[in-house]
């Protein structure tokens, strides 16, 4: 607790930064020469931001520490040599520099004629050799994304493919063909990794996503901690304009599904077949608490999957459908407060509750009874505090994150022995009781970041450190209530069949004199507690040699 309070104090006292968003504006004339010492105006009326600036000797204006809320506008006034130019609807991305290049047309005086010129506008990366691709909020909204799951949207981006290895719930995004377990996930530039087996700690839904950026090669040293690619999500923020959405989406199931001989996968990565249904509902809303100063955004989304398995035991005359249910609930809230034109704070909270039921049966039929059913639970929490201080020639950042994750892989519906039942011929007849194993992982992660970006002539120097501390607890092993392998004789089998037990068969329903072939119990379950501390330092110098060359 003392450590947590100390890290919070360091993050607050530093009066540091929101995940950095930067904007570089380049003015060129029709010959592609820089337009130097020319005034321009940058504004964001949705959050009450406005700044007057002037291009330098390379025709550039560099702005750091900007908010990702709202859309920015650039206005270049007319002068004796150049026509006026403007560009709007510029969205910024956390931990990324957006470059906007404007080509100014020469001022023309025409008599008895009208000259019309179209402004030229570019937002390509002219800063460094970073290889990245992105999806804007408009593209995310317009694309058909299964289950409002952003990982399904990533397959549209270059260098990203769907991964199918390891276990059903394993991360499904591979970058450059690398191991999907090592794909790095961030929200607003802060850690969002399940640090034990990989993947997202909090699976952020579409409704809270402003931008998705995939960094695949040559990204800045400030990211670090991975030799793989990075998926960075910029979250939505409130503005002076009240916005919101309410939705209900359903996949009715067999009524409209076309038949398929192949099993599909649900949002957790597990296979489903006929009878699968999905119901999703939620809302998002954002606005201003105090105009131009305090903004909020709230998002809540819930998904229920209904799925059918077949329990098929001819020896007992059982052929029944076993219904199961998955539930996914994601809650997010964000508050941004502008203390002044140079200092602002942001608090973000994400909470996820996921339950994936294994109800028994199988896709094509099975002998696992509902009494051996269990539920996989994946619960997550993110609390991120960010502060931004922008000086005349520097930007100072201080970020703090607390993340928690609980993964109970098989929470049993039945705290009892697990029993495998054989018929007289030795064929498995039923699997009953406890699932037979325990895997329960808990993880608490704290991240403290300190960053400084400052300018010295043509040099933009970025330096910083990150301290990441993760506490792991893992408890695993066999069934502490015991595991039985038993065999029925013909009379006992006929007795069970006559009783008509159906899918409700329990271990206690077996004859007391059933033959026990094997018995085992877990006397020493494995467990460990470990802490992992990672300290990272970086120094990066970006040298703008001239208007056309950065090193």
Q: Where are the domains of the chain?
A: 2-124, 133-543
Tokens of 476: 């695993």
Q: What is the pTM of this model?
A: 0.83
Give per-residue pLDDT as tens, 116-167: 554 443 445 667 777 788 888 888 888 888 888 888 888 888 888 888 778 8
Class of domain 2-124: mainly beta
Give per-residue pLDDT as tens, 63-114: 888 888 888 999 888 887 788 888 888 888 887 888 888 888 876 655 555 5
What one-character DSSP code corresponds to residue 486?
E
Q: Residue 523: which residues within 8 A CB-CB, separation 6 or more?
A: none
Q: What is the pLDDT of residue 14?
A: 39
**Mean pLDDT score of the chain:** 85
With tokens 């208007």, the residue in question is: 547
Residue stretches of the chain with pLDDT short of 70? 1-20, 107-126
**Sheet of 428-433, strand order:** 428-433, 418-422, 483-487, 515-520
**What is the 3 state secondary structure string of 448-473?**
EEEEEEEEECCEEEEEEEEEEEEEEE
């Amino acid at each position: 607790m003392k450590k947590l309070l100390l890290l919070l104090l360091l993050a607050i006292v530093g009066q540091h930064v929101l995940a950095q968003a930067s904007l570089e504006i380049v003015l060129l004339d029709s010959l592609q020469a820089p337009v130097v010492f020319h005034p321009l105006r940058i504004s964001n009326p949705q959050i009450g931001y406005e700044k007057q600036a002037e291009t330098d000797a390379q025709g550039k204006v560099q702005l750091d520490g900007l908010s990702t809320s709202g859309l920015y506008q650039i206005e270049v006034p007319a002068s004796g040599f150049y026509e006026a130019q403007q560009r709007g609807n510029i969205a910024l991305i956390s931990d990324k520099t957006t470059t906007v290049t404007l080509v100014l047309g020469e001022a023309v005086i025409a008599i008895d004629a009208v000259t019309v010129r179209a402004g030229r506008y570019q937002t390509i990366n002219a800063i460094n050799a970073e290889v990245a691709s992105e999806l804007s909020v408009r593209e995310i909204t317009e694309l058909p994304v299964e289950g409002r799951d952003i990982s399904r949207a990533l397959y549209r981006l270059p260098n990203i493919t769907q991964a199918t290895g390891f276990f059903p719930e394993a991360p499904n995004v591979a970058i450059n063909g690398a191991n999907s377990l090592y794909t790095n996930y961030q929200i607003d530039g802060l850690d969002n990794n399940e640090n034990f087996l990989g993947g997202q700690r909090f699976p952020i839904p579409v409704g809270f996503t402003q931008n998705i950026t995939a960094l695949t090669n040559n990204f800045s040293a400030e990211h670090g901690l991975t030799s793989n690619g990075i998926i960075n999500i910029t979250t939505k923020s409130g503005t002076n304009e009240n916005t919101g959405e309410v939705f209900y989406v359903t996949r009715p199931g067999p009524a409209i599904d076309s038949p398929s001989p192949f099993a599909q996968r649900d949002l957790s990565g597990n296979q489903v077949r006929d009878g699968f249904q999905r119901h999703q509902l939620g809302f998002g809303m954002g606005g201003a608490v105090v105009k131009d100063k305090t903004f909020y955004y709230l998002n809540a989304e819930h998904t229920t999957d209904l799925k059918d398995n077949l329990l098929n035991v001819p020896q007992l005359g059982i052929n029944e459908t076993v219904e199961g249910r998955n539930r996914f609930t994601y809650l997010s809230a964000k508050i941004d407060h502008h203390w002044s034109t140079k200092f602002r704070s942001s608090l973000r909270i994400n909470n996820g509750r996921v339950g994936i039921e294994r109800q028994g049966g199988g896709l094509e039929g099975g002998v696992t009874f509902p009494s051996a059913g269990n539920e996989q639970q994946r619960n997550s929490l993110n609390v991120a505090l960010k502060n931004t201080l922008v000086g005349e020639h520097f930007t100072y950042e201080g970020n703090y994150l607390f993340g928690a994750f609980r993964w109970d892989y098989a929470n049993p519906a039945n705290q009892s022995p697990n029993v495998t039942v054989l018929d007289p011929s030795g064929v498995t007849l039923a699997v009953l009781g406890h699932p037979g194993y325990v895997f329960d992982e808990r993880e608490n992660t704290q991240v403290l970041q300190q960053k400084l970006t400052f300018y010295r002539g043509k040099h933009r120097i970025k330096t910083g450190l990150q301290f990441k501390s993760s506490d792991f607890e893992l408890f695993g092993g066999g069934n502490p209530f015991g595991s039985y392998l038993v065999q029925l004789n013909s009379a006992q089998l006929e007795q069970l069949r006559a009783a008509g037990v159906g899918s409700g068969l329990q271990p206690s329903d077996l004859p007391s004199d059933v033959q026990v072939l094997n018995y085992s119990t877990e006397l020493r379950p494995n467990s460990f507690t470990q802490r992992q501390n990672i300290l990272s330092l970086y120094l990066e110098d970006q040298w703008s040699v001239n208007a056309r060359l950065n090193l």
